[in-house]
Amino acid sequence: MSVAVGACGQADLKVTENDTALAMGTGEVEVLATPRVVQLCEEASVKALGSDLPQNQTSVGLRVELTHITPVSVGSEVKATATLERCEGRRVFFSVSVADARGLVAAGRITRVLVERSAFLDKAR
């Protein structure tokens, strides 16, 4: 397994009504929902690993630490960026951020674990 520290991934989103806290049931306002921000950061971290993993391996989420700083309205565009900071055995650690045209929206860290696909699925309940 060879993943490159410094690898970056990005994920873009144009915020729709389906992406809001109101639509997701996590709040009462029509702004970008925090769970959607987390999903976007996870997507960027997966893209950062790209095709560096062998065919029989993947990564799964272990920990997310995120501060959602700024509300974002429907129609706005945001971009999540994940940068692989370090690897410790099977654990890979990313710094993540989300920004729109006006600046930082959210920032934090994501830890993922590299697993062998079939062995991981065998453990699922």
Residue 91: C-alpha distances to residues 21, 62, 81 (Å): 31, 9, 19
pTM of the model: 0.94
Residue 3 pLDDT grade (very low, low, confident, very high; cuts 50, 70, 90)? confident
Is the pLDDT at 2 greater than 80? The verdict is no
Q: What are 42-97's pLDDT values in tens digits?
A: 999 999 998 778 889 999 999 999 999 999 999 999 999 999 999 999 999 999 99
> φ, ψ for residue 49 (rounded to 5)?
-75, -25
Residue 27 tokens, joined: 């709040």
**Options 3.40.50.720, 3.40.50.1820, 3.30.379.10, 3.10.129.10; CATH of 8-123:** 3.10.129.10
In this prediction, residue 1 has a pLDDT band, given cuts at 50, 70 and 90, of: low
Domain ranges of the chain: 8-123
